[in-house]
Amino acid sequence: MVNIISAGQPTEEAKYEQFMKRIEAGEKIEAEDWMPENYRMTLIKLISMHGISEIMGALPEKEWVPKAPTLKRKLGIMAKVQDEMGHGQLLLRVTEDLMKPLGKTREDILQDLLSGRLKFHNVFHMETKSWGDAGLIGWLVDGAAIITQTNMLDASYGPYARALKRICAEEVFHAQHGEAIILALAEGTKEQRAMVQDALNRWWEALLMFFGPGDAATTGTSKQDTTIKYRIRTKTNEELRQDFFTKYIPRVLSLGLELPDEEMYFDKEDGLWKYQQPDWSKFKEIIQNKGPKSNERLRLREIAYSNNKWVIDALQH
Ligand SMILES: [Fe+2]
Ligand SMILES: [Fe+2]
């Protein structure tokens, strides 16, 4: 029974019960609505990490704008970089609204990134050595992002669900752009095919890690359970990783590429792909800014911020 105190004000428990009823009924929660602290904090962590990863993700791709092989490819990758920055802006705006009651601002998000409190996605700490890497990021990293983000299209938090709708539509173009690069290379010379295989071999582990650890017990985190409980997403990390395999492994093989995991197979009995686990201790290190390019990219972000700070200051005064 709902517990209402005499003044007619609902208690915290009653508000929580009402809140859970709303999300279980598929209603959307808006920025100004009452929400439990844990829900707010979960959203802030998730969306700020997503938003800042979009921005940090533009950095490794930006490196390939001047080096892209043709004008058409240059324009394609430039448009993608621009889109990713736009995704970051959209998501940071969503985060800003959630942080308002806590007295935190967008400035704090950047400071948290630079101090290491706010993590960004493991894939964006990696090096992009070749044009094959640039294609593979679009094809498989954006492909993986489409899988995780479409899983949240019906998120209980309205502003995030709406932002994702637009983001996902653009991500589909990114995946097509990446696939077009990879297809051209795969149909090209022996050296070009070797470039794709090499990119796949080097990115494989990062791609497996993209979805996060599968078992909360081994990582001591119940983050995925919280997001599922609050209907922010529906599938677990492992389910998403399996969806990725099901979608992309036939495509990888159809291009004549070899899977970097020789022991990998599809188990018909349980309908799951069996694969070698990546080194999860390495994953933890990478997201703690100990990846091959972590410091360099953070420095780039810091320089971009300090060089442009006068614009923010001028707009605020
Ligand atoms: Fe994006
Ligand atoms: Fe993208």
- Residues 66-80: pLDDT tens digits? 999 999 999 999 999
What is the C-alpha to C-alpha distance for residues 214 and 235, in angstroms, rounded to an integer? 11
Residue 51 CA, ligand 2 centroid: distance in Å: 12
Q: pTM score, two decimals?
A: 0.92
CA distances to 165, 179, 181 from 74, in Å = 26, 15, 11
The answer to whether 127 touches 198, Cβ cutoff 8 Å, is: no
Residue 189 CA, ligand 2 centroid: distance in Å: 28
Q: Maximum CA pair distance of the chain?
A: 79
- Write the DSSP assignment of 261-272 as a string of letters: -TT-EEETTTTE
Q: How does pLDDT run across 123-136, given as a tens digit for each residue? A: 999 999 999 999 99
Question: CATH classification of 32-208+224-311, choosing from 3.40.1000.10, 1.10.3210.10, 1.20.1260.10, 1.10.1660.10?
Answer: 1.20.1260.10
Residue 138 CA, ligand 2 centroid: distance in Å: 7
- Write the DSSP assignment of 93-121 as a string of letters: HHHHHHHGGGT--HHHHHHHHHHTSS---
Element (H, E) at 273: strand 272-274
Residue 9 CA, ligand 1 centroid: distance in Å: 42
The answer to whether 122 touches 208, Cβ cutoff 8 Å, is: no
pLDDT of residue 9: 82
Residue 87 CA, ligand 1 centroid: distance in Å: 5
Which listed ligand is nearest to 53 at the C-alpha? 1
Residue 171 CA, ligand 2 centroid: distance in Å: 5
Q: How does pLDDT run across 278-311, given as a tens digit for each residue? A: 999 999 999 999 999 999 999 999 998 899 889 9
Residue 58 CA, ligand 2 centroid: distance in Å: 9
Q: Where are the domains of the chain?
A: 32-208+224-311
The answer to whether 147 touches 240, Cβ cutoff 8 Å, is: yes
pLDDT of residue 313: 87
Question: How many CA atoms lie less than 13 Å away from 252 in the CB half-sphere?
Answer: 22
Residue 122, number of CB atoms within 10 A of its CB: 24
Q: Is the pLDDT reported for residue 227 higher than 80?
A: yes
Q: Is the pLDDT reported for residue 231 higher than 90?
A: yes
94: its two tokens: 């969503």
Residue 6 CA, ligand 1 centroid: distance in Å: 49
* Across 132-156, average pLDDT: 97
Beta pairing partners, 4: 10
Residue 75 CA, ligand 2 centroid: distance in Å: 15
Q: Positive or negative, the Cα torsion across 122, 137, 251, 161?
A: positive
Residue 76 main-chain phi, psi, to 5 deg: -60, -50
What is the C-alpha to C-alpha distance for residues 179 and 173, in angstroms, rounded to an integer? 10
Residue 26 buriedness (CB in 10 A; 0-12 / 13-18 / 19+): exposed
Residue 15 CA, ligand 2 centroid: distance in Å: 38
pLDDT of residue 216: 52
Listed as own residue / partner, the contacts of 243-252 with beta carbons closer than 8 Å and 24 or more positions apart are: 243/147, 244/143, 244/144, 244/147, 244/207, 244/210, 244/211, 245/273, 245/275, 246/273, 247/143, 247/147, 248/140, 248/143, 249/273, 252/200
Residue 56 CA, ligand 2 centroid: distance in Å: 12
